[in-house]
Amino acid sequence: MTQETAEGSRSQAWMWSLLCVMCIPLFPQYIAPFLSMAALLFARRDARIGRRRVRVGAAGTVLVAYLCFMTVHMLWATERQLGLVFLAVWMTVFMAYLALTTVLVTRQRLETAQFALAVVVGLLGLLAVVQYVLVGFCGITQMPLQLWDVVDETVYGLTGLPVNLHSLGVRPAATFPNPNMLAQFLLLAVPFVAAYGFSGKRSAAKILSRLSLLFAVGGIFVSFSRGAYLALGAIAVVMCIANIRRLVPILMVGFSVLMLLPDSIYLRLSTIGDATDLAINERFEVWGVTMQAVLERPFIGHGIGIGTIWPRLHECGFSAPHAHNLFLEFFVEGGLFGLILLLFLLWKLFRTGFELIIHAPKTRMYGAAVIAFVGGLCVCGMVDQPLFAPGVLAMFMVAVAFADAFSFVEMKRTPLTFGRALPFSDYVIPRLEAWVKRKTAPKEEQKDNEE
C-alpha cells in the first residue's frame, strides 16, 4: 500500500467512525449498539493504518472498571436475563467511547467531531421546535411527536415489554421515544456545542454551531422537562463564570431568549417545587421504594437493568422503569461500590476540566464545557435517570471521550491501550506474556534446529 493510499484509507476510516457515532441519536434507540460497533471497527482500521492501538483515557479506565465489575456482578444479580441485555447495551455503546478516543488524535479531528456534534444537536433541536409549533399551535395532528413512533411500536411490541411510547400533551420527542430523553441528550451536548461555538476565531462553522446551540436550548424548553430546566441553569452558571468578561452580552442574549418563550413554558417552570404536583410527589414515593431495595443489598446491589427496580415499582403502582435518580439507580444496581465508581468518574471528569481551564487560555472553554457537563448531569440526575436510553448513554460516552481526547491533544497526556486499562492489568499482562513466551519458545527452538 502506497503512502497516498494509506492516507486516503485512514481519512475515510476515521470519518466513517465519527459518522457512525454522531448518527446514533438520529435513529431508533435499538440501533445505537450496532452503530457503536461499526464505529469501533472503522476506528481499529484507522489505528492499524496509523500504527496505533485502541486508546483509553483517565475517565475511560473508570468506565472499564465499572463494566468489569458489573460483569462479575451478574453472578449474584437478582434478574440475570434482563441484566445481561442492559449490560450488553452498556458494553456495545461503550465502543463509541473507544472509537472516538482512538481516532481523535489531532486538534483538527477534534474540532471536526465537535462541529459534527453541533450539526446533529441543531437538527434535533430544530425538529423538536417544529414538532411543537406544528402540533401545539397549528393543530397538525399528522405530525408525529416521536419521529420513529410506528417503527418503535412494532419493534417494542415484539419484545413484550410494556413500554409506553405515547407522549402526553404536545411535548415533542424528535427521534427519541420520550421527551425527557430528548431533553437529556440535548442537555449533555449543550456544553460542548457552546464551547466550540464561542472559542477560537469566528468562522462559518462557529456561527452555525451558535445557531445549533439556540435550537438545542429551544428543544430543551419545548420538551417541558423540569429536570432539564434546572440542569440547563447549572450549565449556564458554569459557562458564564468561565466567560466572565463576556457576561453582559451573554446575559442580554439570555434575557432576549427568555422574552420569546411562550406562556406554557413559564407555566411549566412555575410548577418546579410545587408540593401538590403529582409527578413530584411520585418521585418521592419512587425514591422510598428504591431505598428499601438498597437497604436489602447495600454493598453488593441487585444488578444492572430494569429488572432490578421496575418489578418493585410496578407492584406499588408506578409506571417508572427506573429510580428517577441517577445516584440511587447506581446504588441499587451496583451497591456501594457501584456508587463509588460513579462518583469517582465524575471526579475524574471534573479534575480534567479544571486542569484544562488552568492549562492555557485556548483550552479554558473546553475545561468549562467538561465541568458544565458534570454539573448538568448531576443536577438532572437528582430527579431523573439520564443514562437509561441508549441514545442518551451514547452522548454520555461521547462527552467522556471528548474529555479524554482534550487531555490527549491539548495537554499531551499519554493514553493507555485498552488492555492496560483493564483492572489488575499491570499484574496479569506481564505474567500472561511470560506464559505465552514459555509455551512458544520450545516450538521456535525446535523449528530452528530442524532448519
Q: How far apart are CA 297 and CA 201, in angstroms?
A: 53
Q: Is residue 315 domain-resident?
A: yes
Residue 13: exposed, middle, or buried by beta-carbon count in 10 A (0-12, 13-18, 19+)? buried
Q: Is residue 211 domain-resident?
A: no
C-alpha cell at 352: 480534567
Per-residue pLDDT tens digits of the chain, which is 451 residues long:
444 444 455 568 999 999 999 999 999 999 999 999 999 999 999 999 888 888 999 999 999 999 999 988 888 877 888 888 889 999 999 999 999 999 999 999 999 999 999 999 999 999 999 999 888 777 777 778 888 888 888 887 777 665 555 666 788 999 998 899 999 999 999 999 999 988 878 788 889 998 999 999 999 999 988 889 999 989 988 888 877 666 666 666 666 666 666 667 767 767 776 666 677 788 888 898 889 989 988 888 888 877 778 888 888 877 778 888 999 999 999 999 999 999 999 999 999 999 999 998 889 999 999 999 999 999 999 999 999 899 999 999 999 999 999 999 999 888 877 766 666 555 555 665 676 667 666 555 555 555 5
* Residue 4: per-residue pLDDT: 44
Q: Strand pairing of 55-56 and 416-417?
A: antiparallel
* Structural domain count of the chain: 1
Q: Is residue 196 domain-resident?
A: no
C-alpha cell at 86: 442492559
DSSP string, 170-222: T---BTSSSHHHHHHHHHHHHHHHHHHHTSSS--HHHHHHHHHHHHHHHHHHH
pTM, two decimals, is: 0.89
- Domain housing 61: 3-126+227-434
* Residue 244: per-residue pLDDT: 65
Q: How far apart are CA 252 and CA 52, in angstroms?
A: 47
Among the listed residues 296, 290, 280, the one whose alpha carbon sits nearest the alpha carbon of residue 311: 290
Among the listed residues 387, 282, 284, 377, the one whose alpha carbon sits nearest the alpha carbon of residue 329: 387
CA distances from 255 to 200, 241, 245, 260 (A): 25, 17, 18, 9
Produce one character per residue of 230-240: b if its CB has 16 or more CB atoms within 10 Å, e if not. bbbebbbebbb
CA 388, 392, 396, 397 torsion-angle sign: positive
184 residue type, one letter: Q
Total count of residues recorded for the chain: 451
Q: Is residue 245 domain-resident?
A: yes
Q: Is residue 192 domain-resident?
A: no
Cell 459518522, residue located: 19
Q: Is residue 215 domain-resident?
A: no
Q: 17 CB contacts (<8 Å, ≥6 apart)? A: 39, 40, 42, 43, 46, 99, 100, 102, 103
180 residue type, one letter: N
Residue 387: exposed, middle, or buried by beta-carbon count in 10 A (0-12, 13-18, 19+)? buried
* Residue 428: per-residue pLDDT: 57
Among the listed residues 195, 234, 189, the one whose alpha carbon sits nearest the alpha carbon of residue 215: 189
pLDDT single digits (tens) 389-407 = 999 999 999 999 999 999 9
pLDDT single digits (tens) 83-129 = 888 899 999 999 999 999 999 999 999 999 999 999 999 999 999 99
Cell 417503527, residue located: 151
Q: Is residue 61 domain-resident?
A: yes
* Residue 1: per-residue pLDDT: 45
Q: Give the SS3 label for residue 126.
A: helix
* Residue 378: per-residue pLDDT: 95
Q: Which helix (H) or strand (E) holds 405?
A: helix 390-409
